[in-house]
Chain A
Amino acid sequence: MNLRKLLRIARWEVTKNAGGLDRRTLVVVVVAIALVGVVAPVVGVGGVGVDEGIYRVAVDEDSQYYDVVANDSTFVVREPSDRAALEDGDIDLWIDGTGIDPADTRKGAAAFEELRESVTGYNNRQLSKETNQTAAFPVSVTVQFREQSQLSPGGDGDGSQSPGGDGGEQPPGGDGPTGDGGETPGDPPDTGGVDDSGEDPVDDGTDTGGSTGEGSGPGPSPGGFTGPLSEDELSGSPADINPPFPFQSLVLAFIFVIPLNFLIQAYGSTMLSERLNRRGELLLVSPVTRLDIIGGKTLPYFAGAMAVEGAISVGLVYVARGELGGLVSALAIAPLVLLFLGATFLGAMFARSFKELTFVTVTITVVLTSYAFVPAIFTDVGSLALISPLTLVVRDLQGEAVALQEFVFSTLPPFLSAVVFFGLGSGLYREEDMFDQRSLSGKVLDALAGPISRPYHVGVMTIVLIPFVFVIQLLAIALLFATGDISVPLILIVVAVVEEIAKSLHIYAAYDHNRFESTTRVAIILGIASGVGFFLGEKIALLAQLVGLPELATAEAGLSGGIVEGPIILLFLLAPLALHTVTAAVSAVGARTGRRSYVFGLAAAIALHFLYNFTVVESLV
């Protein structure tokens, strides 16, 4: 690779279209980008006030509901002078001494419902000002979210509940009903179990039962009494219990993904345009390598994306936390940018027209956005969310620290997957594949068979595909773990299918390209090479153990890398090796004689793999 030529191609990529844009268009584009950059964080943080002042309420200043209405921006206060306005639709709610009358319209009914909720919030705020909090909130519940595998019958004994703490000494870890004195509404919620001694640092027994409790620090809580964007209405009552959903940070994190979806449209187009009408042929015959060309054409898009994402990081961190930062977010998003670009590059190598490219980019948008976004929803639930780099962004925006191993766990799989995508795509970046109109499946087989000419190449290719397998499996875990009892079998099926395809598809591709003799002996050798490669590559799953992911039963099933001890460790080390080589050999034997026999072989391998995994999981989990 020649860096100077790579940079020259990058400069050309940036400037070659410059002549096609007139100044007015350029100005409009720049202004639009600037507006998006400024408006997006503001909208993300503050939301759009679409419901501001939508209900008109006629209420007198003397009414007990006046303060409720006046303090809710959803309502506009009107003087109750002419009741006919209610029938005319000029007023949505009429409040007087006799009651509350909504207009006989759907909007009137909605206004009434809104008033009901507003009154509840108002009452909670008023009650929270009471000096006797026990009287105000006779029942207080602290919710603590734990990993599924840590749950055990009979309670956890963290002493976090108290209907009216007495301020006295509690046994360490004392059980719930006589805990540390409960919560004070409005305080940052308790993550539970902090004050194991049972001593209340403030409550000396002279107060009326409330206490300061223990907060979990600034920012949205990982659960408990946190309502999205409504911390000021917390009462500690059971009605306020919400799932741990970092709504605000998640919305902000989504802003990172939006530019990538536009980016891949432009990037996919420039890559595909090299292929249409043989435009890229003259670059191929120039004294540059294909890595120079691909790197040079990709660099401006990566650099541009990182500039935008960096600016968003700094802006959002400043808006969310009021301080300069965002380095973690920017670094975390980098592999995601590469993954989007890598997948698009490979897709552009496969697509035969802009119509097909549109299908490819839409698919990439949906799949990768799901991959990035869905796990991040569970940021505050547990380590499972670390599957997505966007989780690191959410945590960064919440002001939480990110450990190095967590960062590596989150970013390495997408980074390596991006490398695989670029590697497979660069295998197609040549005269023979770029300019013909072969089928998608034919090009996939070309990409896989390209680097294979000897049996050990099969093993290497299997290792190369491991990150891809890993990402799909983690995504499957994230999507399926909520399916309840059937989650483990479902995940095991996905695992078996993905792993067996990853171990055998390139063997089939090699046979399709007449790379090897189609004898059973050679097929078994190729299967063993692939199985051994997979066994070695699979050890990347050990990374998962660094952040405790296997503590989830479903994750353990999915990654099939349970931690074992004792003399059976040798069995557990060798059994997967035997499994992978046997199943890969079964597929390879099928692959040597054609597509149909490969499908049969693959199905048999998947069935074997599933049975093995199911047996192991049943005995371990």
Chain B
Amino acid sequence: MIEARELRKEYGGFVAVEGSSFSVERGEVFGVIGPNGAGKTTTLKMLAGLLEPTAGGAEVAGFDVGETEMRHHLGFLPEESPLYEEMTPKTYLRFFADLYDVDADVATERMNETLDDLDLQHRDRQLGDMSKGMKRKVAIARSLINDPEVLIYDEPASGLDPLTTNYIIEFTEQLAEDGKTVIFSAHNLFHVESICDRVAIMNEGEIVARGDLDRLQSEYGETTYHVYTTVEVPDSVRENGRYHRVVDSMAAVEGTREQAQDAGGEVVDIRTEQSSLEEVFLNVAESGRQRQ
């Protein structure tokens, strides 16, 4: 549904994105993460047809991103979506529905349905009088007014309170379950981890890692083993009448077992722990710095 081929964007002598390639399947939720200035927004804007790639290309819903027709199949939500504050949600959404060639009756039905789902009240109030969260909901409703197959959301929950953030993340997850293809960026990696099937990690304009979360965790993360014994072993601490030792390999687990048996005790529990996406991301960023 989304195919990016060696996307490159250069501003003067500054390379914002270098050789980004990835694909997103229909119904998939694809996350793009990275530190500030990594090239996430530039990548998403090239996919939305807002920025012309300096080199490379991309297709969205089977259309080249430069084609106007592609935009009929796309819902784009920029990180900042200042609205025309003199308008009301209704007039604003109807205006965009007209631009997307959506039939008036269909547009009205779709608008009401989406605003109901988003639990947006005060639909005749001017947008300028609304809270940031309400405005964000209107912006999301606008991105859905043409019932697009592909959604590109750049920091959809940026600057919102936790309650609204959770609401919007759950709503985005629901959109994916309804068959939409979603690609989005976020600073809050917990959100990415909770709803994304696959992610791409960007750093300094390049995709430094990509794949499903399990693969990234195994490649860039760590598995730690928490071994609990009945007797004291080296590097252990006493917890609730047991001794707790953290090791990073199965060989070390085996060594701990032998040490416990030599001391007349035994291993009573072993727990494994995977790195979070945040730790994976930090490890990738750190390895990038070391390469430099």
Contacts and interface: CB of A to CB of B under 8 A. Distances in A.
A17 interface: yes
B68 A289 contact: yes
Contact of B84 (A8, A16, A286, A432): A16
Contacts of B96: 282, 286
A442 to B, nearest CB: 9
B177 interface: no
A431 interface: yes
Interface stretch (B73-81, B156-164, B237-245, B267-275): B73-81
A99 interface: no
A52 interface: no
B72 interface: yes
A8 B49 contact: no
B48 interface: yes
B251 interface: no
A287 B142 contact: no
Contacts, number: 64
Contacts of B225: none
Nearest to A21: B86
Contact of A286 (B69, B71, B81, B91): B71
B250 interface: no
Contacts of B45: 431
A26 to B, nearest CB: 14
Given A431-B51, A432-B51, A285 B71 contact: yes
Contacts of A278: 78, 80-82
A441 interface: no
B86 A20 contact: yes
A285 B84 contact: no
B99 A284 contact: no
B190 interface: no
A287 B80 contact: no
Given A19-B87, A19-B126, A285 B48 contact: yes
A8 B99 contact: yes
Interface in A263-294: 277-279, 281-289
B220 interface: no
B95 A12 contact: yes
A321 interface: no
A284 B82 contact: no
Contact of B74 (A279, A281, A285): A285
B235 interface: no
Nearest to B13: A514
Interface in A1-52: 5, 8-9, 12, 15-17, 19-20
Interface residues of B, number: 31
Contact of B78 (A8, A15, A19, A281): A281
B95 A287 contact: no
Nearest to B70: A287
B254 interface: no
B98 A285 contact: no
Interface in B121-139: 126
Contacts of B78: 278, 281-282
Contact of B82 (A8, A279, A285, A288): A279
B50 interface: yes
Nearest to A279: B82
Contacts of A286: 71, 96, 99-100
B43 to A, nearest CB: 13
B80 A277 contact: yes
A-side binding surface: helix, strand, loop or mixed? helix
Contacts of A16: 84, 86-87, 91
Given A19-B126, A431-B45, A285 B50 contact: yes
Nearest to B128: A20
A284 B83 CA distance: 13
B181 interface: no
Interface in A409-450: 431-432
B88 interface: yes
A373 to B, nearest CB: 36
A12 B86 CA distance: 11
Nearest to B81: A282
A20 B84 CA distance: 11
A8 B98 contact: yes
B178 interface: no
Given A19-B126, A278-B78, A287 B86 contact: no
Interface string B41-54: 00001001111100
Contact of B72 (A12, A17, A283, A287): A287
B71 A287 contact: yes
A450 to B, nearest CB: 11
Interface in A496-515: none
Contacts of B116: none
Interface string A475-506: 00000000000000000000000000000000
A287 B50 contact: no
Contact of B76 (A12, A277, A285): A285
B286 interface: no
B101 interface: yes
Interface string B22-53: 00000000000000000000000100111110
Given A282-B96, A431-B45, A431-B50, A287 B101 contact: yes
Interface string A147-160: 00000000000000
A8 B97 CA distance: 11
Interface string B169-186: 000000000000000000
A17 B49 contact: no
User: Which of B48, B78, B82, B83 is most buried by chain A, counting CB atoms within 10 A of its CB?
Assistant: B82
Given A8-B99, A285-B48, A286-B99, A19 B84 contact: no
B189 to A, nearest CB: 25
B68 A287 contact: yes
Contact of B86 (A19, A285, A288): A19
Interface in A377-406: none
A393 to B, nearest CB: 36
A19 B84 CA distance: 11
Contacts of B74: 285
Contacts of B68: 287-289
Contacts of A281: 50, 78, 81
Nearest to B101: A287
B86 A282 contact: no
Interface string B85-110: 01110010001101111000000000
Contacts of A279: 82-84
A552 to B, nearest CB: 47
A5 B84 CA distance: 18
B100 A284 contact: no
Contacts of A282: 76, 78, 81, 96, 142
Contacts of A19: 86-88, 91, 126
Contacts of A284: 50
User: Which of A278, A281, A285, A288 is most buried by chain B, counting CB atoms within 10 A of its CB?
Assistant: A285
A285 B88 CA distance: 21
B100 to A, nearest CB: 6
A589 B72 CA distance: 46
A283 to B, nearest CB: 8
B156 to A, nearest CB: 15
A19 B52 CA distance: 36
Nearest to B9: A432
Nearest to A20: B86
Contacts of A289: 68
Interface in A169-203: none
Interface in A70-115: none
Interface string A585-614: 000000000000000000000000000000
6 contacts: A277-B80, A277-B82, A279-B83, A279-B84, A282-B96, A286-B99
- In the A-B complex, the 4 residue pairs with the smallest Cβ-Cβ separation, listed nearest first, are A287-B71, A277-B82, A431-B50, A286-B99
Given A16-B91, A432-B52, 8 more contacts: A278-B82, A282-B78, A282-B81, A285-B48, A285-B49, A287-B99, A289-B68, A431-B51
